[in-house]
Structure 1
Amino acid sequence: MKYPFLFLSLCAASVLHADVKLPALFSDRAVLQKSERVPVWGKAEPGESVTVTLGKAKATTTTGADGRWRVFLNLKAEGAEPRELVVQGRNRLVASDVLVGEVWLCGGQSNMDFPLSAFPIAKTEVPNSTNPQLREFRVKKATSAEPLEDVEGKWVIAGPQTSGTFSAVGYFYGKNLQKTLQTPVGLLTSCIGGTFIETWMSREALASDPGITEGANRARAERLAFDTYVADHKAWQTKFGREDRRAADAPVFAAAGIDTSDWKPVMLPGALDTAGIPEGGAIWLRKTIPVPSADVVLGKGIDLFLEGIRDYAEIYWNGRKIGTSDLTDVAHRYGIRGNLVMAGDGVLAVRIFNPAKGAEIAAKGRFQGNHYMLKGEWLAKVETALPPLKGEALSALPARPTATPYDPQNVASYLFNGMISPVIPYGMRGAIWYQGEGNWNRGYQYRTEFPALIKDWRAKWGQGDFPFYYCQVANFQARPKKPGNDWQAELREAQSMALSLPNTGQAILIDIGEEWNIHPANKMEVGDRLARIALAKTYGRDLVYSGPVYSAMVVEADKIRLRFTHTHGGLVAKPVSSEPNAAPLVRNSPGGELEGFAICGEDRKWEWADARIDGDTVVVRSAQVPKPVAVRYAWSNNPLCNLYNGGGLPAGPFRTDDFPMISEKNKY
């Protein structure tokens, strides 16, 4: 009886081996770029003939010795109605409801990644979002030391049940394009929050500048060494029975309102054995957090930074799990969504599992929330205790590397390998990008890295200088009391410098940020400003897509006159007002009509300046600077500024000087 079964199994394995296979991108509900040369690729048996058709477009090829194949379809004349993408080899694959239209890659970090459902506008937008011609493919997070061949994800059609999962920026960008162009729009979204630009760059891009290469190579080496340690540590846990074995469900320890009379006080950050906690096992920590009133955080969410955790962790807010981490994680950043944050007392609970010894929250890194510190007295309780290490188990315990690496998602090229390389060369019109907060104090290095990323992506896609439109990071943190140097101002300048590359555009967001929320809620405006750039520069629509751009200056005795381009409709001093729930507004330049201008003399001491519009110029002066040499505008993390053009778009930060930057020595 066994032999027929074996024969059938071998036959089945042979057929499966010969099957034509497609990447996840080429699946039901996909959007393909309307173009003369659209790549479709996959795998099959070496030497197998493969034919691909969509509507009237058809192409045939033969797989190579490695089983890979690629064809190019001419979809320039295809209409917008749904079609089937058919791939025929020894087997037949069919992707249904495939559209031909405009495809855009949406890349970056959290401000691109945050879904529409995370913002208040979702309440009115999502129920009315039905649009079968707007679709998104969300690339699942994947990090890798080497380029992967495929990604996980699926195409999703916009609608009340799905639009909340779309990138908020991507959604409004795509909605605007689809409505204006009356053509299908596909969003290929590949982004992860809290990431550096270096992780989105290929090794070739990183190698283009020796100033980047050294740090990138070190980061990869430290990560690989740590990954080896993690693998050895997990094998050690299995061998010596030090695995995690739960004694009770999480609500017993994490829920609000439980009896904590038998919990022990412990000061954190610090070692837990000071409270008589066993050195190994599962330990619960909890702290009651007095959440500030609604005018501070209600509806905005909370960012938690618990960087001192060294082992396995689970994080709970009022009994609800909000995040996990294991040995491979270093940053330990967790987000509590705004809909989970209520005014009053909240309970933060942390379950730490230490399979070895020395359970602690180390006194290094950040241990805080975005509105309050977490340092101080917590309560602790043991869930399960492991016996003290001794003998062979102690001697065989792997030694933790002395160098603490970046989390995998921030190791140079790891996200490029996992989330960008596998989607190349999917046909697309261009890319939109929102990233930079992760590089907040490395603006000088960003000057080199950002253009290198753009040029490298374009080279690898092989579509020429495809459009690359991006967001300048929004204003954030406290208003400055005095003008001077600021980290984010230097980063924004580096972003603006990428406009020297062809076919680029920048959406200025210096007026839509929130003082203590790095994820401003007005994502509709972000998407609309990006869409303006694309509609004007890529699709030829006649509309204003840029605010005033500084072009030249002239010193006139005790004042400086500034000239601008993109003054469509003339320069405008927009009325200034305080952000909702923010401190009362204090003007820096009560004698002028424009805010945000600073001026200095040869001593390089900056003073707030009185600035007024004079035609298409701005005249800047200060009684404290009788012989001015330079001007800066909106040059701070969160400037008060109000220069716009008649098209309603803001001027971006700029400076007329070339003084040394405070970020010049900071490297990845």
Structure 2
Amino acid sequence: MYSNKLIFQSLSIFLVCTFNLFSQVTLPKILGHNMVIQQLKNVPVWGTAGPGEKISVTFAGQNKTTVADSSGKWSVKLKPMKASFTPQEMIIKGTNTIVLKNILIGEVWLCSGQSNMEYAMRKYSKFETAVKGQRPPEDDLNKANNPNIRIFLDRRKYMDPSPEHLGWESAMGKPLVDFSAVGYYFAKDLYSKLHVPIGMISAAVPGSRIEPWIEASKMEISPKMKNGKILDKLSKDGGDPGKFYNTMIEPLIPFSLKGFLWYQGESNCFLNENIRYAYKFKTLIESWRNDWNDSKLPFYFVQIAPYAYSTTKDDRQHTAENLPEFWEAQQLALHLKNTNTVVITDLVDSIADLHPGYKWEIGRRLSLVAANKAYGQKNIICSGPVYKKMKIVDHAIEITFLNTGGGLTSRDGKALNWFTIAGTDGKFSAAKAVIKEDRIILSAREVPNPVSARFGWNEAAQSNFINKEGLPAVPFRTDNPWDKLF
């Protein structure tokens, strides 16, 4: 039997080792070798150490010191810096010293959502079967060679602090295989416009609803609409609120970002959601901005693609109009400042495919939005035609549009399609659509006295209506019941 003295000695050694282990300076996974630091913003650096331990952070001529609090947490903020292609080292000192190498300064974006955002570059072979538009001019999966584009793949089970400080990689070779294709092509196109280092963080989970991406406590709200009606608490919809927020988003806070990219909604559309999704989406956007302490952070999202939701066999009564209603719910987020969207109704080969393969074009369109809205390159057209207003002229409806670019046109030179109009009876009929400058004149023999119009109001709608920059028009209905109530 061990003597009491031996037991006491063993216990003392264990406690000393344990104390030393936990007094080591540690960093969150997102802070590591090869990372990109956001330019022209304060740069938070944070971690844990022993309570009361003095910490110093040195980078690019700056030196910041602090003391870990009673729980061992510490943080400093580096002053804003200009973009730099010069690899630099960051030195963090406490009882131990950490040296992070090969750090660049540039633009950092977080892309999140479900499977279409997660859709990895390893599926590149599917791009070869694309029948619309053009494939990328290069085989990026095998030939990408730009060390100034860096990627961080947020894996929910691997976000604990790592003593190797690995996670960021150059967007080439093996690391690129599993990375978001939308995220990579966004970065590639944005790089060509800005000529600064680009850092992309991908945090996406296939099949995920929106609820797991929202902090659970933020879901405990009962939204009040403008007409005074109060909706039930959002959390009553289930969906594991906070599940992915806790494991994938929270570990990133407050890593400095330029903005967010979001591509999600299919899982909620299967539930026939509309206005309730709009409030969840609003909650997500506002809560993430609040987490990063910046109410103006750009938030750009992808309108989900045409798909045959009406063929789904479950207890819900799906119709061909459920998807357009969901599009409408997504568009309500545009009431929030610094939000924008891209439309992809033209990037579908089959409405039986929930995962269309044109990810390079989706990434490019998101970069057009970022270039125009976030970086002030106003000469870049970033949207197709957007409904502005309507008026009745004789026996027709005149629709005026925003974002007409170089002018309204037909993609294939044929008559514009997927326009319908209705009279007071609410019965919609296919309409003849004639372009007149920045307007469309709609008429139908069956509707001599029209009062409302719709465009692309069907899950299968892949209209030929575009601006001359080739960007598709945004589906709409002039009898939108939610727009003034959100």
Letter in 2 for 1:448: Y
1:47 equivalent to 2:52? Answer: yes
Give 1:437's aligned residue: 266
Give 1:596's aligned residue: 418
Is the CA contact (8 Å cut-off) linking 1:206 and 1:213 kept in structure 2? no
Which structure 2 residues correspond to residues 323-338 of structure 1 after superposition, within 5 A?
A: none
Between the aligned partners of 2:283 and 2:168, the Cα distance in structure 1 is 30
Is the CA contact (8 Å cut-off) linking 1:479 and 1:640 kept in structure 2? no
Residue by residue over 1:72-117, the C-alpha shift from the partner in whole angstroms, topping out at 9 and shown as x without a partner, is: 0114146221111211011111111121111100011110011011
Change (3 A) 1:478 1:14: closer
Is the CA contact (8 Å cut-off) linking 1:142 and 1:415 kept in structure 2? no
Q: Unpaired segments of 5 or more residues in structure 2?
A: 129-137, 224-229, 312-318
1:21 equivalent to 2:36? Answer: no
Change (3 A) 1:126 1:517: same
Give 1:73's aligned residue: 78
Pick aligned residue for 2:280 from 443, 449, 466: 449
Between the aligned partners of 2:204 and 2:36, the Cα distance in structure 1 is 19
SS of alignment partner, residue 162 of structure 1: helix
SS of alignment partner, residue 101 of structure 2: strand
Is the CA contact (8 Å cut-off) linking 1:55 and 1:78 kept in structure 2? no
Letter in 1 for 2:102: D
Letter in 2 for 1:420: I
Residue by residue over 1:192-249, the C-alpha shift from the partner in whole angstroms, topping out at 9 and shown as x without a partner, is: 0111111111234312335776452573xxxxxxxxxxxxxxxxxxxxxxxxxxxxxx
Between the aligned partners of 2:12 and 2:403, the Cα distance in structure 1 is 74
**Alpha-carbon deviation of 1:162?**
2.5
Give 2:95's aligned residue: 90
Give 2:257's aligned residue: 428
Pick aligned residue for 1:184 from 165, 176, 197: 197
Is the CA contact (8 Å cut-off) linking 2:84 and 2:196 kept in structure 1? no
**Alpha-carbon deviation of 1:505?**
1.0
Letter in 1 for 2:322: W
Give 1:383's aligned residue: none
SS of alignment partner, residue 457 of structure 1: helix
Between the aligned partners of 1:209 and 1:189, the Cα distance in structure 2 is 31
Change (3 A) 1:77 1:125: closer
Is the CA contact (8 Å cut-off) linking 1:104 and 1:431 kept in structure 2? yes
**Alpha-carbon deviation of 1:11?**
3.8
Residue by residue over 1:568-595, the C-alpha shift from the partner in whole angstroms, topping out at 9 and shown as x without a partner, is: 111011117xxxxxxxxxxxxxxx8100
Q: Unpaired segments of 5 or more residues in structure 1?
A: 220-409, 577-591
Residue by residue over 1:58-82, the C-alpha shift from the partner in whole angstroms, topping out at 9 and shown as x without a partner, is: 2111111111001101141462211
Give 2:337's aligned residue: 502
SS of alignment partner, residue 132 of structure 1: coil
Change (3 A) 1:70 1:213: farther
Which structure 2 residues correspond to residues 8-407 of structure 1 after superposition, within 5 A?
A: 9-77=14-82, 79-120=84-125, 121=127, 124-142=139-157, 154-209=167-222, 214=233, 216=235, 219=238
Give 1:651's aligned residue: 473
Letter in 2 for 1:538: A
Change (3 A) 1:606 1:139: same
Is the CA contact (8 Å cut-off) linking 1:57 and 1:75 kept in structure 2? no
TM-score, with length taken from structure 1: 0.64
Is the CA contact (8 Å cut-off) linking 1:75 and 1:100 kept in structure 2? no
Letter in 1 for 2:298: P
1:563 equivalent to 2:385? Answer: no
Between the aligned partners of 2:53 and 2:231, the Cα distance in structure 1 is 43
Which structure 2 residues correspond to residues 570-609 of structure 1 after superposition, within 5 A?
A: 570-575=407-412, 593-609=415-431
Give 1:277's aligned residue: none
Pick aligned residue for 1:476 from 307, 312, 317: 307
SS of alignment partner, residue 416 of structure 1: helix
Residue by residue over 1:261-281, the C-alpha shift from the partner in whole angstroms, topping out at 9 and shown as x without a partner, is: xxxxxxxxxxxxxxxxxxxxx
Between the aligned partners of 1:192 and 1:16, the Cα distance in structure 2 is 33
1:547 equivalent to 2:369? Answer: no
SS of alignment partner, residue 612 of structure 1: strand
Between the aligned partners of 2:292 and 2:344, the Cα distance in structure 1 is 29
Letter in 1 for 2:88: R
Letter in 2 for 1:511: D
SS of alignment partner, residue 82 of structure 1: strand
The CA RMSD measured in Å over matched residues stands at 2.7
Letter in 1 for 2:59: L
**Alpha-carbon deviation of 1:554?**
1.0
SS of alignment partner, residue 451 of structure 1: helix
Residue by residue over 1:142-200, the C-alpha shift from the partner in whole angstroms, topping out at 9 and shown as x without a partner, is: 59xxxx98699711211133322110000000111122211111111111011111111
1:488 equivalent to 2:327? Answer: no
TM-score, with length taken from structure 2: 0.87
1:638 equivalent to 2:460? Answer: yes
Change (3 A) 1:218 1:172: closer
Is the CA contact (8 Å cut-off) linking 2:398 and 2:440 kept in structure 1? yes
Is the CA contact (8 Å cut-off) linking 1:644 and 1:651 kept in structure 2? yes
Change (3 A) 1:93 1:209: same
**Alpha-carbon deviation of 1:477?**
2.4
Letter in 2 for 1:564: F
**Alpha-carbon deviation of 1:7?**
6.2
Between the aligned partners of 1:218 and 1:600, the Cα distance in structure 2 is 34
1:464 equivalent to 2:295? Answer: yes
Deviates more, 1:129-138 or 1:11-20: 11-20
SS of alignment partner, residue 419 of structure 1: helix
SS of alignment partner, residue 345 of structure 2: coil
Is the CA contact (8 Å cut-off) linking 2:396 and 2:442 kept in structure 1? yes
**Alpha-carbon deviation of 1:628?**
0.6
Is the CA contact (8 Å cut-off) linking 1:208 and 1:452 kept in structure 2? no
Between the aligned partners of 1:40 and 1:430, the Cα distance in structure 2 is 18
Deviates more, 1:194-203 or 1:169-178: 194-203
SS of alignment partner, residue 172 of structure 1: helix
Between the aligned partners of 2:237 and 2:184, the Cα distance in structure 1 is 37
Is the CA contact (8 Å cut-off) linking 2:310 and 2:320 kept in structure 1? no
**Alpha-carbon deviation of 1:21?**
0.7
Is the CA contact (8 Å cut-off) linking 2:309 and 2:320 kept in structure 1? no
Give 1:419's aligned residue: 248
Pick aligned residue for 1:519 from 335, 355, 366: 355
Change (3 A) 1:217 1:63: farther
SS of alignment partner, residue 205 of structure 1: helix
Letter in 1 for 2:282: P
Change (3 A) 1:638 1:142: farther
Change (3 A) 1:435 1:82: same
**Alpha-carbon deviation of 1:17?**
2.1
Letter in 1 for 2:235: A
Change (3 A) 1:150 1:466: farther
Is the CA contact (8 Å cut-off) linking 1:137 and 1:153 kept in structure 2? no
1:614 equivalent to 2:436? Answer: yes
